[in-house]
């Protein structure tokens, strides 16, 4: 049993601005080179610095802590090794934050041959953690100097641009109007009609040519989006700002677990009568209902595989959720994990990647995605997550996101392809989803 170290000291304080403004201010100030901001249920968490880190690649899991490095080969299920290494940390209490790429799905399926050397999962236990909500801020830090710096930042006035104070970066979401995406949709429909699969999500990338102020983009985007989760991060060489429409999985400390598939989409225009008409169409459209129903069935089967017998049920079936520039058919599937020694990780392994970002069946969808998208997705359609030593886990599906990595900035969106799909409509759906982010892209000062 490892020797436990003392828990970080907790300080409570008021702060200026709203919780999202304060969280963004901490990220923008550069108090920590690496950070994650994560919104959940009306509160924001800022996790800054690296007290310990854990990285999974196609062959190994690497844990770094206090100058020591443990490298372990994994076989079968890398998340089992993740759980074992995190459980070995000499901390009384901890919460980790990080990301999982879409390509972890191939590793979980036992298909590592086509993977590169890029990390599949990157988690950190932060040096400092701040929870921000309407009742104030709570700071957890083991460094008094770090705590004083965070307290000063929380008390300062906001400097991040509000949504009304900038001209968004112009991005042409419709180029090319005809091209590779249309051909990919047509090919996917052929494969579906041939019986290879029932559904596949195909995505396309839109480059952003101007430099962005990502913290300001997060603040501006959050003001016009209504996400299930949101995040702003700079971790492991990836920067991202996203407004997730759904969770991949949520696990409570007592083992209650849920997943929230959203499938079936119509645009939101802001015109009440027009949006109501589109909502009515969404609820009666055979293609959209079929696409949603098979996604819920997969989620049910995956949950049943890891939950106690008889505990799985569908809740909120076929409701409509408004998510920024679009509205979706939404359901929630819940269950109860059996008591065990693997924590929440079997639940993530069971449902990852989200069926609403991969396809039905998933194994066939992976092959089609690899064939028709022509390269790795990376963080897109993966997850940003938090996990605690108490058995809790919360994973947001990475959609409606702006990405920056190695000097390149881009947006990405997809659509669910079924037998009734048409290339023009699926292309239009990607445009509708991209607008959730594109309308809030704040240019960096001095960019042209």
Domain extent for 180: 175-438
Residue 259 belongs to a domain: yes
Residue 252 belongs to a domain: yes
Number of domains in the chain: 1
pTM for the whole structure: 0.94
Residue 383 belongs to a domain: yes
Domain of residue 184, CATH code = 3.60.120.10
Could you give the strand order of the β-sheet that contains 408-417, starting from the edge strand earlier in sequence?
9-13, 136-141, 128-133, 43-48, 35-40, 229-235, 238-244, 401-405, 408-417, 199-207, 359-360
Residue 169 belongs to a domain: no
292/333 Cα distance (integer angstroms): 13
Residue 431 belongs to a domain: yes
Cβ-contact 364, 357 below 8 angstroms: no
Cβ-contact 387, 195 below 8 angstroms: no
Residue 347 belongs to a domain: yes
Catalytic residue among 246, 288, 291, 429: 246
Active site residue 291: no
Residue 61 belongs to a domain: no
A 10 A CB-CB count for 2 gives 9
Beta bridge partners of 446: none
Q: Kindly give, in sequence order, each residue whose CB lies less than 8 Å from that of residue 185, ignoring residues fewer than 6 positions away.
A: 202, 415, 417, 421, 422, 423, 426, 427
Residue 343 belongs to a domain: yes
Q: Which of 395, 412, 341, 347 is nearest to 121 (CA)?
A: 395
pLDDT in tens, the chain (448 residues): 344 455 566 778 899 999 999 999 999 999 999 999 999 999 999 999 999 999 999 999 999 999 999 999 999 999 999 999 999 999 888 999 999 999 999 999 999 988 999 999 999 999 999 999 999 999 999 889 999 999 999 998 876 544 456 788 999 998 877 799 999 999 999 999 999 999 999 999 999 999 999 999 999 999 999 999 999 999 999 999 999 999 999 999 999 999 999 999 999 988 899 999 999 999 999 999 999 999 999 999 999 999 999 999 998 899 999 998 899 999 999 999 997 667 899 999 999 999 999 999 999 999 999 999 989 999 999 999 999 999 999 999 999 999 999 999 999 999 999 999 999 999 999 999 999 999 999 999 866 5
């Amino acid at each position: 049993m490892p020797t436990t170290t003392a828990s970080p000291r907790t300080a409570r304080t008021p702060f200026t601005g709203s919780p999202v403004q304060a969280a963004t201010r901490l990220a923008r100030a550069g108090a920590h080179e690496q950070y994650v901001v994560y919104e959940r249920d009306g509160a924001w968490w800022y996790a800054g610095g690296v007290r310990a880190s854990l990285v999974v690649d196609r062959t190994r899991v690497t844990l770094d802590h206090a100058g020591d490095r443990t490298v372990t080969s994994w076989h079968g299920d890398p998340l089992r090794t993740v759980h074992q290494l995190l459980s070995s940390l000499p901390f009384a209490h901890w919460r980790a934050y990080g990301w999982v790429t879409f390509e972890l799905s191939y590793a979980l399926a036992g298909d590592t041959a086509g993977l590169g050397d890029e990390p599949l999962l990157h988690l950190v236990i932060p040096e400092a953690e701040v929870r921000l909500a309407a009742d104030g801020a709570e700071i957890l830090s083991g460094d008094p100097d770090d705590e004083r710096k965070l307290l000063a930042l929380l008390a300062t006035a906001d400097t991040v641009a509000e949504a009304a104070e900038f001209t968004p970066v112009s991005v042409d979401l419709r180029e090319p109007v005809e091209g590779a995406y249309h051909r990919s949709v047509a090919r996917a429909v052929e494969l579906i009609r041939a019986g290879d699969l029932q559904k596949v999500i195909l995505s396309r990338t839109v480059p952003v040519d101007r430099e962005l102020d990502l913290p300001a983009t997060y603040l501006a985007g959050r003001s016009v989006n209504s996400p299930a989760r949101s995040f702003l991060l700079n971790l492991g060489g990836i920067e991202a700002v996203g407004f997730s429409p759904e969770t991949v999985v949520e696990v409570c400390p007592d083992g209650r677990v849920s997943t929230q598939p959203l499938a079936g989409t119509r645009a939101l225009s802001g015109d009440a009568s027009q949006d109501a008409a589109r909502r009515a169409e969404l609820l009666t459209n055979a293609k959209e209902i079929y696409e949603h129903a098979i996604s819920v069935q997969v989620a049910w089967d995956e949950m049943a595989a890891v939950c106690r017998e008889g505990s799985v049920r569908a809740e909120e079936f076929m409701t409509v959720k408004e998510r920024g520039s679009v509205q979706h058919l939404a359901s929630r599937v819940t269950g109860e994990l059996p008591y065990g020694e693997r924590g929440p990780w079997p639940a993530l392994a069971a449902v990852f990647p989200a069926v609403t970002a991969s396809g039905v069946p998933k194994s066939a969808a992976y092959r089609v995605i690899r064939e028709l998208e022509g390269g790795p997705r990376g963080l897109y359609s993966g997850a940003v997550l938090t996990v605690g030593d108490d058995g809790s886990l919360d994973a947001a599906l990475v959609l409606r996101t702006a990405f920056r990595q190695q000097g390149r900035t881009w947006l990405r969106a997809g659509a669910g392809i079924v037998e009734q799909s048409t290339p023009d409509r699926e292309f239009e759906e990607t445009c509708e989803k991209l607008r959730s982010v594109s309308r809030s892209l704040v240019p960096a000062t001095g960019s042209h």
